[in-house]
Amino acid sequence: MSLTRRTALTLVAPALHLRAQSKPNILWILGDDLGPQLGCYGHPLVHTPNADRLASEGARFTHCFTTAPVCSPARSAWNTGVYQTTIGAHNHRSHRKDDYRLPDSVRLVSHRLRDAGYFTANVTEVAPGLRVPGKTDFNFQGEKPFEGTHWRQRATGQPFFAQINFTAPHKGPMWPAARKQATLVDPAKVELPPYYPDHPVVRDEVANYLDAVNYWDQQLGMALDALKADGLLENTAIFVFGDNGRCLLRGKQWLYDAGTHVPLIVRMPGQVQPGTVRRDPVIALDITATTLDLAGLPRPALFHGQGLFSGAKPRQEIFTARDRCDMTVERIRAVRDPRYKLIRNFMPERPYTQYNEYITNSYPTQKVLKELHAAGKLNAVQAQWMAPRKPEVELYDHQADPHEVHNLAGQSAHRGAQQRLTKLLEQWIIDTKDQGRTPESEETIAREEPRRN
């Protein structure tokens, strides 16, 4: 019996028992731009004892992906359980100046749980001295998504659904704060991917990101302490994950694994066997589905997630999408199976380095790449980022090439995989009614003021 199936069988009865007596509390803990650079995922330079402890007490998913590599489309998707491309929420930070609404059959998960008797909260003061901005960042308009700002505001005996949106891994004020920790990551020990040049500025940026991950883990510990102090730790299902991949060049905003692969840790006392490791591919929309399962709610007719512990057939492919990010117009789609990833660049004439204010101002590695490229000091792999245009199709054997730098598209030995994945991606675009097929008007793009990612 597979691990996936065995785990599912051990969960069904306890879940029903919980529903029969009292609904469990449900807490989503986010890391903004958090990739799987955690100790429990085998990263040697970070110190993440709180995330590691949660993984030892629950389930760690090794292949969890978000549906978009940037925050607002990803958050619009897993807060509804529907691909962002289906609901018109695919362009980053769009619909900020209009009255765009979700389709009638699509609702926020917080609204569904509120109607089922849950108190919903977007926690802003996690503990004394620890405040977070309560990020939502949806690409649509609607009624207030949450009722309160802390689970402590609920009625006596009322179950809660809450989110804590930690921003520490995101570039911004948390990065300098992370550098004030007593122990910092040594840039000299950082292992650089092959598409980065070995340069002090590059090493420092990667090390600072890992410092920010350590800082995030300290905040995670404070959230867990608050739950424990309130006597809620053992009756709360906890989901820990990232909204998209790491905010380093060729990660966030891009459909390589570095941009969409995120950690997922689920702790449900009495339901998930401690130390469980799940290697089947899942998407963030499955967190939404599992949340509805825990609350005893049915799946809506339009819904793309499936329960993590429902016994559903494991996914064979993962589909991801990237569209406009601020002023940078793009349309890219990808499909990933257990061995290959195929990326389709619908605008290959737009280079990887087309202007983006956020990347220009916040990614020093890009500046280094441009300088070294002008001096002729990049090797062939590093120089790919500076190409004047992108290939129309990229195909990677991510088992043999985890950094996705050797494009196999067009090679006869991999023609079958390319054809098969191309058909799957084309069918997914049709089946999910991908709205990215209709370009935004120039008026719409001009109306959306560029904002930081």
Residue type, 232: L
* pLDDT at position 13: 34
**What is the rounded average pLDDT of the residues 222-248?**
97
**What is the rounded average pLDDT of the residues 216-243?**
97
Q: Residues 351, 354, 358, 363: what is their CA dihedral angle, to the nearest 10 degrees?
A: 60
Residue pLDDT, tens place only, 61-94: 999 999 999 999 999 999 999 999 999 999 999 9
Calculate the average pLDDT of the chain: 94
Considering only residues 447 and 60, tell me which one the structure prediction assigns the higher pLDDT: 60
Instruction: Give the C-alpha separation, 145 to 258, whole Å.
Output: 30
* pLDDT at position 173: 94
Instruction: Give the C-alpha separation, 148 to 96, whole Å.
Output: 23
Contact between residue 318 and residue 283 where contact means Cβ atoms under 8 Å apart: yes
Instruction: Give the C-alpha separation, 305 to 296, whole Å.
Output: 15
Considering only residues 405 and 22, tell me which one the structure prediction assigns the higher pLDDT: 405
* 3-state SS, one letter per residue, for 57-72: HCEEEEEEECCCCCHH
Instruction: Give the C-alpha separation, 80 to 25, whole Å.
Output: 19
Nearest Cα neighbor of 231 from 269, 265, 266, 264 is 269
* pLDDT at position 15: 42
Residue pLDDT, tens place only, 159-217: 999 999 999 999 999 999 999 999 999 999 999 999 999 999 999 999 999 999 999 99
Nearest Cα neighbor of 161 from 268, 22, 26, 278 is 26
Nearest Cα neighbor of 419 from 347, 342, 318 is 342
DSSP β-bridge partners for residue 142? none
* pLDDT at position 16: 35
Please say if the pLDDT value at position 415 is more than 60.
yes
Please say if the pLDDT value at position 151 is more than 80.
yes
Nearest Cα neighbor of 436 from 85, 82, 73, 71 is 85
Residue 347 pLDDT grade (very low, low, confident, very high; cuts 50, 70, 90): very high
* pLDDT at position 445: 82
* 3-state SS, one letter per residue, for 237-296: EEEEEECCCCCCCCCCCCCCHHHHEEEEEEECCCCCCCCEEECCCEECHHHHHHHHHHCC
Residue pLDDT, tens place only, 20-36: 337 999 999 999 999 99
Please say if the pLDDT value at position 5 is more than 50.
no
**What is the rounded average pLDDT of the residues 382-398?**
98
* pLDDT at position 452: 53
Percentage of the chain with pLDDT > 90?
A: 92
* pLDDT at position 451: 56
Instruction: Give the C-alpha separation, 422 to 409, whole Å.
Output: 11
Nearest Cα neighbor of 268 from 291, 243, 244 is 291
Residue pLDDT, tens place only, 171-185: 999 999 999 999 999
pTM of this structure: 0.94
* 3-state SS, one letter per residue, for 2-52: CHHHHHHHHHHHHHHHHHHHCCCEEEEEEECCCCCCCHHHCCCCCCCHHHH
